[in-house]
Amino acid sequence: MPLRSLTAAALALVCISSLAAEARTLATQANDPMTKTGVAGLLRAQVLLDRAHFSPGEIDGQAGSNQRRALRGYQATKGLQVTGELDAATWDALNAGAAPVLVAYTLTAEDVGGPYAPIPDDMMAQAKQTSLGFESVHEALGERFHVAPALLETLNPGADFSRAGTRILVPNVADIGPPPKAAKVLVDKSDATLTLLDAAGKRVAQFPVSSGSKKDPLPLGEWKIVATAVDPTFHYNPKLFWDADPSHAKATLPAGPNNPVGTRWIDLSRPHFGLHGTPSPATVGKAQSYGCVRLTNWDVERVAAAVSPALTVVTQE
């Protein structure tokens, strides 16, 4: 091998080794309740909020609006001062009896085998697919462990995600059960949240949402849950979308996590209106929707497990 190639290979090994050391440090700090700042502190807080059913949306180790909303909801429920910040009292409450926030996971043959395939952007092209599954193992693992694929890479530099048996670090969220059964659902457009309330009106869970836009405002009022569809198909009608391609026609898009309504559709008593998942979890709480209430797939699955037909859903500004 030429000297230049040897030098490049050596530098690559040094780089991977350095990244691996940084990842080990991040993991150690994130699993330490004394770590309150930096990426490790934010990562720890986001996992603990998620485990408490106050979802920060996609876990990314970055401060943002979804984390602040989750903190405000958690603080209000715990009777703490509502600041949206990781103050000492909130940190102590989150960490009381906390489980490790990062755990090891071994990739299986099913994980690496997929199948994975690119999803076309065009609705008509999507309708021709047999399914709208994941595009990559990183996306699949991101959904399972509620984590941004970029953070998954940061935690596991140099990991071979194409090989079964590879051990990686992931957020400790796989064992989170569903939240308590809800007596009422509240969607607040101004706060970009969906809240589950018990019979006493107490908040038992909260999730970030995208709900409507100027062209497709969130329908305000009181509605009833009609039914929940698991892994729904999507009945595309271009007449219902102001920005639809004029060449489009009605079509049925196959099920899958990259379906426009994700892995759950919770149908409401207003026609064409429901709570649903999304193929773009990083945009929840940050981008607009076509009038419906959009959550991450993992969050809408938790909501679906906590609600039932005839339950009241209130939508407000």
What is the spatial order of strands in the sheet that 221-230 belongs to?
203-208, 193-197, 184-188, 312-316, 221-230, 264-268, 274-276, 293-294, 210-211
Domains held by the chain: number? 2
Exposure on the CB side of residue 195, measured as CA atoms within 13 A = 23
- Stretch 21-36: mean pLDDT: 82
| Chain mean pLDDT for the chain | 91
Tokens of 140: 């699949």
Query: What is the rounded CA–CA span in Å between residue 271 and residue 222?
Result: 13
Residue 174: CB atoms within 10 Å:
11
pLDDT tier at 11, thresholds 50, 70, 90: very low
Same domain, 154 and 37: yes
- Stretch 41-65: mean pLDDT: 96
Same domain, 281 and 216: yes
Same domain, 149 and 202: no
Same domain, 224 and 273: yes
Radius of gyration of the chain (CA): 21
- Stretch 83-97: mean pLDDT: 94
Annotate the chain with three-state secondary structure: CCHHHHHHHHHHHHHHHHHHHHHHHHHHHHCCCCCCCHHHHHHHHHHHHHHCCECCCCECCCCCHHHHHHHHHHHHHCCCCCCCCCCHHHHHHHHCCCCCCEEEEECCHHHHHCCCCCCCCCHHHHHCCCCCCCCCHHHHHHHHCCECHHHHHHHCCCCCCCCCCCEEEEECCCCCCCCCCCCEEEEECCCCEEEEECCCCCEEEEEECEECCCCCCCCCEEEEEEEEEECCCEEECHHHCCCCCCCCCCEEECCCCCCCCCCEEEEECCCCCEEECCCCHHHCCCCCCCCCEECCHHHHHHHHHHCCCCCEEEEEC
Same domain, 223 and 166: no
Question: Of the candidates 141, 159, 176, which is a domain's last residue?
Answer: 176
CA distances from 55 to 135, 156, 185, 279, 300 (A): 24, 23, 15, 17, 11
Same domain, 247 and 302: yes
Query: What is the rounded CA–CA span in Å between residue 150 and residue 58?
Result: 11
pLDDT tier at 20, thresholds 50, 70, 90: confident
Choice among 217-221, 243-247, 295-299 with the minimum mean pLDDT = 243-247
Question: Of the candidates 114, 141, 176, which is a domain's last residue?
Answer: 176
Same domain, 51 and 111: yes
Query: What is the rounded CA–CA span in Å between residue 235 and residue 254?
Result: 9
pLDDT at 295 over 60: yes
Which amino acid type is present at position 156? N
- Quote the pLDDT of residue 135: 97
Query: Which range of residues forms the domain containing residue 219?
Result: 184-316
Same domain, 147 and 211: no
- Stretch 267-276: mean pLDDT: 95
- Quote the pLDDT of residue 278: 96
Q: Of the candidates 228, 191, 231, which has an alpha carbon nearest to the alpha carbon of residue 82?
A: 191
Same domain, 52 and 192: no
Query: What is the rounded CA–CA span in Å between residue 171 and residue 105?
Result: 10
Same domain, 155 and 270: no
Q: Express each pLDDT in 91-138 by its tens digit.
A: 999 999 889 999 999 999 999 999 999 999 999 999 999 999 999 999
Same domain, 78 and 130: yes
Same domain, 155 and 235: no
CA distances from 256 to 59, 82, 273 (A): 22, 38, 20
Query: What is the rounded CA–CA span in Å between residue 157 and residue 18?
Result: 9
Q: Of the candidates 141, 181, 145, which has an alpha carbon nearest to the alpha carbon of residue 51?
A: 145
- Stretch 9-31: mean pLDDT: 66
Q: What is the pTM of this model?
A: 0.90
Question: Of the candidates 126, 144, 176, which is a domain's last residue?
Answer: 176
- Quote the pLDDT of residue 243: 80
pLDDT tier at 53, thresholds 50, 70, 90: very high
CATH number for the domain that contains residue 216: 2.40.440.10
Choice among 88-97, 229-238, 283-292 with the minimum mean pLDDT = 283-292
- Stretch 201-220: mean pLDDT: 90
- Quote the pLDDT of residue 22: 77
